[in-house]
Amino acid sequence: MRMRCAVILGIAWMCALATNGQASNPLEKINWQAGPSVGDLSGTADIRVPEGFVFAGANDTRLLMTAMQNPTSGQEKGFVAPTGLAWFVVFEFDDAGYVRDDDKAALDANAMLESIKQGTEMGNKDRQKRGWPTMTITGWEQAPRYNETTHNLEWAIRAESDGKPVVNYNTRLLGRGGVMKVTLVADPAEFGPTLPKFRSVLDGYAFKEGQKYAEWKKGDKVAAYGLSALVVGGAAAVAAKAGAFKGLWKLLAVGVVAIGAAIKGLWSRLSGRKPPQQ
């Protein structure tokens, strides 16, 4: 079964709450937008939602992340998934400014992976306090690579949580005023066939007019970091050098999201309803 390899975190906890009546099902609060349609990523960009897919906005994305026992960053802008919810995509925007790509030829995959591991270990302390399973980074599924034509930075991380594997595929879309952080979360067993479907969805992404990377003008805000720092949390990498590393674990661990296809199980087991259809 497809679900056998998914990282099914939070189901027991939420089922218990639903059973004893102490809390309502968080999924009942989600305002789903069915495709074909256009999802507004908080005024920064748009994403075309294909037929057979659903979209949730910024506030609803934070509700979903919390329900799946993932710390939120406050930068969430949207959530896209097929109606079966077998995999999903999270959009976050960092308005740090225009990121120069001068260091595109000097990406150090080993150093970046070590920083991600450190950030994740810091995040685990918070997970433990909340009674959530911890996460361990096991390596690259794909080392970081930069596309000079599209100004997209991509990489994939392998991780484990609660004894189960998960793969996060990360894309950073550079814009005039900042970076859209896109995270694909999928069952590792289905990662191969899922990736082209994800890329097809991402083809429908576009910064709004005036927000594109090529529209940068002299005098615009410029980020204090480059491509390498993007992989390990952007501003957190800069702050780490200034001694503020400890308080910025969320930024360092950004893009490492748990659950995979488990949201499908949450929907069917807690609400008794099917994901939204056309």
Domains of the chain: 2-271 (3.40.1000.10)
pLDDT at 48: 98
pLDDT at 168: 81
pLDDT at 19: 37
Is residue 264 within 8 A of residue 89, CB to CB? The reply is no
pLDDT at 179: 93
Mean pLDDT by 10 residues, the chain (278 residues): 28 34 62 95 96 95 83 90 86 93 84 81 81 86 88 88 82 94 85 92 96 94 85 49 38 44 47 45
140, with CB counted inside 10 A (0-12, 13-18, 19+), is: middle
User: 79, 82, 85: which is closest to 8 by C-alpha?
Assistant: 85
Q: What is the pTM of this model?
A: 0.76
Radius of gyration of the chain (CA): 18
**158 has which bridge partners?**
139, 167
